[in-house]
Amino acid sequence: MKAFLTKYFIFLSLLIVTLGLVRFCVLIHHQEVGSTLTTVEKIRKNGKLRLITSKAINTYYLYNNKPAGFEYDLALEFAKFMNVELDVITPGWNNMFAYLKQGKGDFIAAGLPITAPRLEEADFSIPYMTIQQHMIHHNLIFGPKDIKDMESKIFHVRRGTAYHDRVAEIKASGVNLKYVLHNNIPTEELIGMVHNREIKFTIADSNIALLCRRFFPDIHIGIPIQERESLAWAVRKNDSEMLKQINKFFLYANNTGILKRITTKYYGNMDNFDAYELKKFHERIKKRLPEYKDVIKEESAKHGFDWHLIAAVVYQESQFDPDAKSFTNVRGLMQVTENTAKEMGIKNRHDPQQSIRAGIKYLALMYKRFNYIKDESQRLLFALASYNIGYGHVKDAMGLAKQKGDDPNTWKALEAALPLLCKAKYYNQTKYGYARGWEPVLYVERIQTYFDILKQKKAAITL
For the cut 50, the answer to whether the pLDDT of residue 388 exceeds it is: yes
- Between CA 116 and CA 119 the distance in angstroms is 5
Q: What average pLDDT does the structure give for the chain? A: 89
Per-residue model confidence (pLDDT) at position 211: 86
Q: Which pLDDT value is given to residue 15?
A: 41
Three-class DSSP labels, 29-64: HHHHHHHCCCHHHHHHHHCEEEEECCCECCCEEEEC
CA angle 207–149–161, rounded 5-degree value: 40
Whether pLDDT at 112 is above 70: yes
Reported as a single tens digit per residue, the pLDDT across 398-444 is 999 999 999 999 999 999 999 999 898 999 999 999 998 999 998 99
Is 85 known to be catalytic? no
Angle at 42 between CA 37 and CA 45, to 5 degrees: 115
Residue 4: predicted pLDDT: 35
- Which residue stretches of 47-161 are H helix? 70-82, 96-101, 116-121
- In this structure, what CATH number is given to the domain that contains residue 53? 3.40.190.10
Amino acid identity of 108?
Answer: I
User: What pLDDT does residue 126 have?
Assistant: 97
Q: Between β-strands 154-158 and 201-205, what pairing exists: parallel, antiparallel or unpaired?
A: parallel
Q: Is residue 231 part of a domain?
A: no
* Judgement on whether residues 49 and 183 belong to the same structural domain of the protein: no
- Residue 81 belongs to some domain of the structure: yes
CA dist., res. 55 & res. 50, Å (int): 15
Give me the pLDDT at residue 350, please. 85
Q: How far is CA 14 from CA 5, 27, 29, in A?
A: 14, 20, 22
Which residue in 143, 161, 138 sits closest to 153, CA to CA?
Answer: 143
> Do 363 and 422 have their domain in common?
yes
Shared-domain flag, residues 189 and 332: no
pLDDT mean over 339-358: 90
Q: Which residues of 205-237 are buried (b: 16+ CB within 10 A; e: fewer)?
A: bbbbbbbbbbbbbbbbbbeebbeebbbbbbbbe
Taking only the tens place, the pLDDT of each residue in 143-201 is 999 999 999 999 999 998 999 999 999 999 999 999 999 997 889 889 999 999 999 99
Tell me, yes or no, whether 327 and 293 share the same domain. Answer: yes
Higher pLDDT, 254 or 349: 254
Question: 461, 451, 125: which is closest to 296 by C-alpha?
Answer: 451
Residues 447 and 323 in one domain: yes
Specify whether 53 is located in the same domain as 12: no
Lowest mean pLDDT among 33-47, 302-316, 343-357: 33-47
In terms of domains, do 165 and 52 share one? no
Confidence of residue 278 (pLDDT cuts 50, 70, 90): confident
Please say if the pLDDT value at position 138 is more than 50.
yes
Domain count, the chain: 4
Establish if 272 belongs to a structural domain.
Answer: no
Rounded percentage of the chain residues whose pLDDT exceeds 70: 90
Residues 101 and 162 in one domain: no
pLDDT digits (tens, 9 = 90+) for 3-42: 433 443 444 444 444 444 445 444 444 444 445 899 999 9
pLDDT of residue 173: 95
Residues 384, 323 share a domain: yes
User: Rounded mean pLDDT of 116-136?
Assistant: 96
pTM beyond cutoff 0.85: no
Same domain (yes/no): 333, 346: yes
Q: What is the DSSP letter of 346?
A: -
Candidate list 85, 317, 343, 439, residue with the active-site label: 317
- Work out the widest C-alpha separation in the chain, in whole angstroms: 115
Q: Is residue 104 part of a domain?
A: yes
**CA–CA dist 163, 173 (Å, integer):** 15
247 and 286 share a domain?
A: no
Q: Which domain holds residue 194?
A: 133-226
pLDDT of residue 19: 42
What pLDDT, on a 0 to 100 scale, did the predictor assign at position 25? Answer: 47
Residue 233, in any domain of the structure: no
Pair 318, 437 in one domain: yes
What is the pLDDT at residue 289?
94
Q: How far apart are CA 198 and CA 196, in angstroms?
A: 6
Yes or no: say if 322 and 291 are a contact pair by the CB < 8 Å rule.
Answer: no
Distance CA 267, CA 210 (A): 8
